[in-house]
């Protein structure tokens, strides 16, 4: 459908990366999310610019209006006094396909995905139903548990009554990255964090599982899954808070077959997953991995895949509209994606 030799018509693709695309046009940009969003957007634009059979339009926050774009990429700038939702419906109507990259927090990704579906446009992302499952870490855990998939025990914070033995993690149900994640090691620390959270039903608590913090970069389509690479997450824990400093993309692992089996199970448990999906796991030294969360969208690790594998993820996703992806890894390198600079 998106063959470069196609001359009959040009397919219009709208790319909307929420953070850099005007989602915060009337507010301060969240630094870490803006850094990651810009990294993903730049790689995505570079990959899509290689396809002559599509016309790409990208939304840009007014603070990114000087971003250098290839000649065949159109930009729509969201002004400082403008809400992106004022112009988004018309842009969706004009496009054939929409590729949203947005955080799960406040149901942003779910709302945008549902808007695209309601307009009957092509969605280069997971369905709104799958996004709804993955946007709530408690629901994600319940769905995975119901399908016999090993997932970190997850309890709604206001229903937590266990003895606080060992270390625990408190995080928002719809959190993204390390924002508002807390590591607690005592009753005192628990009370400190618990007291400053106003709506406790919006948070979960999980036991802190020791092991390697990894992510799996995958493609999903119609109940099937393809593992692209395994990545290591360099997470810093300081004064009870988490910070992602970098991702080591395409690390060497002896567990790739095991991880493929894992994502096969996930594809059956959540059949609406489609396109690129990132899955965060904890790999203990001896046991099977624990699933931490599922990100039904591009993730920071995506930034390094083209360099690591010489594989164009964006083009593969476009091709998946019509057929299963063909995974051709032309090289095999480990790439560091730095978040902090």
Q: Are strands 11-17 and 54-61 parallel, antiparallel or unpaired?
A: parallel
Please say whether the beta carbons of 125 and 290 come within 8 A: no
Express the helix, strand and coil content of the chain in percent, nearest 5 each.
Answer: 30, 30, 40
Q: CA 277 to CA 247: how far, in whole Å? A: 16
Tens digits of pLDDT across the chain (341 residues): 565 544 447 899 999 999 999 999 999 998 888 999 999 999 999 999 999 999 999 999 999 998 999 989 999 999 999 999 999 999 999 999 999 999 888 889 999 999 999 999 999 999 999 999 999 999 999 999 999 999 999 999 999 886 778 899 999 998 776 778 889 888 888 898 899 898 999 999 999 999 999 999 999 999 999 999 999 999 888 777 788 889 999 999 999 999 999 999 999 999 999 999 999 999 999 889 999 999 999 999 999 999 999 999 999 999 999 999 999 999 999 999 998 74
pLDDT at 41: 97
Please say whether the beta carbons of 157 and 201 come within 8 A: yes
pLDDT at 3: 57
H helices of 55-152, where?
84-94, 108-118, 128-135, 137-146
**One CATH from 3.30.470.20, 3.50.50.60, 1.10.150.120, 3.40.50.970 for 134-149+211-338:** 3.30.470.20
Domain map (residue ranges) of the chain: 11-125, 134-149+211-338, 155-207
Q: Which fold has domain 11-125?
A: Rossmann fold (3.40.50)
Q: CA 217 to CA 228: how far, in whole Å? A: 6
What distance, in Å, lies between the first and last C-alpha atoms of the chain? 38
């Amino acid at each position: 459908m998106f063959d470069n030799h196609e001359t009959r018509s040009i397919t219009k693709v709208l790319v909307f990366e929420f953070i850099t695309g005007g989602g915060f046009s009337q507010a301060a940009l969240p630094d870490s999310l803006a850094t990651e969003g810009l990294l993903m957007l730049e790689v995505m634009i570079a990959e899509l610019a290689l396809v002559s059979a599509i016309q790409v339009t990208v939304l840009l926050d007014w603070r990114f209006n000087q971003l250098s774009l290839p000649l065949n990429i159109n930009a729509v700038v969201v002004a400082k006094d403008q809400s992106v939702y004022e112009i988004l419906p018309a842009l969706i109507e004009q496009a054939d396909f929409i590729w949203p990259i947005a955080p799960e927090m406040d149901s942003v990704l779910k709302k945008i995905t549902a808007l695209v579906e309601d307009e009957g446009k092509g969605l280069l992302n997971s369905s709104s139903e799958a996004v709804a499952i993955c946007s709530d870490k408690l629901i994600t855990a319940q769905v995975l548990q119901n399908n016999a998939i090993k997932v970190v025990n997850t309890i709604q914070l206001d229903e937590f009554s266990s003895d606080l033995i060992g270390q625990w993690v408190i995080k928002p149900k719809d959190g993204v990255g390390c924002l508002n994640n807390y590591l607690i090691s005592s009753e005192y620390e628990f009370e400190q964090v618990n007291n400053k959270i106003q709506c406790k039903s919006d948070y979960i608590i999980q036991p802190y599982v020791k092991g390697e913090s990894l992510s799996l970069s995958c493609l999903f389509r119609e109940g099937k899954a393809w593992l692209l690479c395994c990545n290591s997450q360099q997470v810093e824990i300081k004064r009870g808070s988490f910070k992602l400093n970098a991702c080591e993309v395409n690390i060497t692992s002896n567990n790739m077959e095991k991880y493929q089996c894992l994502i096969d199970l996930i594809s059956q448990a959540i059949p609406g997953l489609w396109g690129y999906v990132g899955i965060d796991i904890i790999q203990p030294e001896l046991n099977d991995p624990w699933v931490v969360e599922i990100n039904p969208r591009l993730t920071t690790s995506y930034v390094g895949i083209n360099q690591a594998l010489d594989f164009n993820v964006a083009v593969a996703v476009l091709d998946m509209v019509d057929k299963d992806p063909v995974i051709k890894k032309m090289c095999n390198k480990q790439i560091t994606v730095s978040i902090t600079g």
